[in-house]
Amino acid sequence: MVKFETLNELCLVITCHGGGDYVFTKAGAFIGGECFGAKNYKFTKVLLGPQENAGRALLGQIARRFTGENLPLMKVEFSGDSVTYYANNQQHVVVYHLENGETISVESENILAFTRDCKYGVRFLGQGVVSQKGLATSTLTGTGPEAYVAVLVDGNPLVLSNVANGSTIEADPDAVVCWIGADPSMKMDISWRNFIGQSSGESYMFEWSSHCPATVIIQPMERTSGLDVSMDGNRSGSRPTTQRRLY
């Protein structure tokens, strides 16, 4: 039996009782651990993917290579009671417990760890090419009572949900970490201003309408991406570069 918890917002704690279990984590994310007795956990690099079937793992590896959803993983196997700790570059950690059949769509770079009760896959959204993110996303679906997922967020996460109130949610694809529920549609706002370097910087958005209930986790740090269509070389929708002060 394993359980995921957060510690000081920046660390994932995995508690294992009884052994005979395993989890998948981002390769190299382990930072410490303690056991009741001799060390009773070990790490193994995952060569193809987290799927149990070798053929499916190979197909998953090909799909990740094609879509850019690269997922460097290691398998942590437990043979007794232990508490282990994981982190990545001081990023904030959010833990979610999936219900049976519930799916979380998450960028592969934001996956810190998940249990064996989560079924991994890659889903094509077919949204377009103006964003670095949008064509495909990794998915984790709960298949048992211990379906835990830990995701990484740059900064304190912002959580938006229209499940209860039926609102419309818009979010920059380069700031979206993950969502649970319906997939978004892509909304674009490209005009002649983009081509002369007068873009607002918000030329494309993910949108969840009132008919698409979802809970979305957003980070206050945008990934650098976008399509270069302007005369001044500024990418549509990319975050601005830091200005240098001249003395």
Q: Which amino acid is at 161?
A: S
For the chain, what is the domain count?
A: 1
Residue 149 belongs to domain with CATH number: 3.60.160.10
CA–CA separation, 159 and 170 (whole Å): 12
Domain that holds residue 46: 2-236
With a pLDDT cut of 90, the percent of the chain lying above it is 55
Assess if residue 242 is contained within a domain: no
Tens of pLDDT along 49-93?
Answer: 665 544 554 444 444 454 444 678 899 999 999 999 999 999 999
Assess if residue 136 is contained within a domain: yes
Residue reference for tokens 């149990």: 52
Tens of pLDDT along 89-142?
Answer: 999 999 999 999 999 999 888 999 999 999 988 877 654 444 444 456 889 999
CA–CA separation, 25 and 47 (whole Å): 13
Assess if residue 115 is contained within a domain: yes
- Between 106 and 235, the more confident residue is 106
Model confidence, pTM: 0.78
**Is pLDDT of 236 > 50?**
no
Assess if residue 243 is contained within a domain: no
**Is pLDDT of 26 > 90?**
yes
Assess if residue 143 is contained within a domain: yes
Assess if residue 244 is contained within a domain: no
Assess if residue 241 is contained within a domain: no
User: Which pLDDT does position 202 carry in this prediction?
Assistant: 53
Encoding tokens for residue 60? 């998953």
